[in-house]
Structure 1
Amino acid sequence: MTTSEQKLASGPDWYVSDVVCTAGAGDRPFEEEHRSVCIAAVTSGSFRYRTSQGTAMLAPGAVLLGNVGACYECGHEHGAGDRCLSFHFAPAYLDRIANDVPGAGKLAFGVPHLPPLPALTSLLAESEAARETADIDAFEELGLRIAAAALAVGGAALAVAGEAAPAARPPSRRDQKRVAEAVRQIELNADRPVSLSELAGSTATSPYHFLRTFRQVAGMTPYQFLLRTRLHRAAVRLRMSDEAISAIAFEAGFNDLSTFNRRFRRVMGETPGDYRARRSGSASPSPSAFAAF
Structure 2
Amino acid sequence: MAVNLRLLRQLRLAKDAMDRDWAQPLDLDAVAAHAGYSRYHFVRSFKAVYGETPGQYLSRRRIERAQEMLRTADLAVTEICTLVGFSSLGTFSTRFKQHTGLTPTEYRGRHLGRGAALIPGCYALFWAGGFRNSGEAP
> What TM bracket, shorter-length normalisation?
0.7 to 0.9
- Which position in structure 2 is the counterpart of 1:227? 59
Gaps of 5+ in 1: 1-168, 283-293
Could you give the per-residue CA deviations for residues 168-219 of structure 1, whole angstroms, max 9, x where no partner exists? x964101111111111100111112212211221222222221111111111
Could you give the per-residue CA deviations for residues 13-34 of structure 1, whole angstroms, max 9, x where no partner exists? xxxxxxxxxxxxxxxxxxxxxx
- Which position in structure 2 is the counterpart of 1:199? 31
Could you give the per-residue CA deviations for residues 225-283 of structure 1, whole angstroms, max 9, x where no partner exists? 1101110100110001111111000111111212111111121111111111122569x
- Which position in structure 2 is the counterpart of 1:263? 95
- Which position in structure 2 is the counterpart of 1:152? none
- Which position in structure 2 is the counterpart of 1:156? none
> Is 1:274 paired with 2:121?
no
Query: Sequence identity, in percent?
Result: 34
Gaps of 5+ in 2: 116-138
Contact 1:171 1:213 in 2 (8 A): no
- Which position in structure 2 is the counterpart of 1:212? 44
Contact 1:171 1:216 in 2 (8 A): no
Matches within 5 A, 1:27-176: 171-176=3-8
Contact 2:23 2:84 in 1 (8 A): yes
- Which position in structure 2 is the counterpart of 1:241? 73
| Amino acid paired to 2:24 | R
Q: Distance in 2 between matches of 1:263 and 1:277?
A: 18
Contact 2:14 2:31 in 1 (8 A): yes
| Amino acid paired to 1:224 | Q
Q: Distance in 1 between matches of 2:43 and 2:64?
A: 22
Q: Distance in 2 between matches of 1:171 and 1:222?
A: 19
> Is 1:183 paired with 2:15?
yes
SS of 1:270's equivalent? coil
Q: Distance in 1 between matches of 2:114 and 2:52?
A: 27
Q: Distance in 1 between matches of 2:28 and 2:3?
A: 19
Higher relative contact order (CA 8 A, sep 6+): 2
Q: Distance in 2 between matches of 1:183 and 1:267?
A: 20
Q: Distance in 1 between matches of 2:105 and 2:15?
A: 29
Contact 1:190 1:253 in 2 (8 A): yes
Q: Distance in 2 between matches of 1:260 and 1:206?
A: 28
Q: Distance in 2 between matches of 1:256 and 1:208?
A: 25
Contact 2:96 2:103 in 1 (8 A): yes
SS of 1:278's equivalent? helix
Q: Distance in 2 between matches of 1:170 and 1:208?
A: 22
Aligned residues, how many? 115
Q: Distance in 2 between matches of 1:171 and 1:211?
A: 16
Could you say which structure has the higher helix fraction? 2
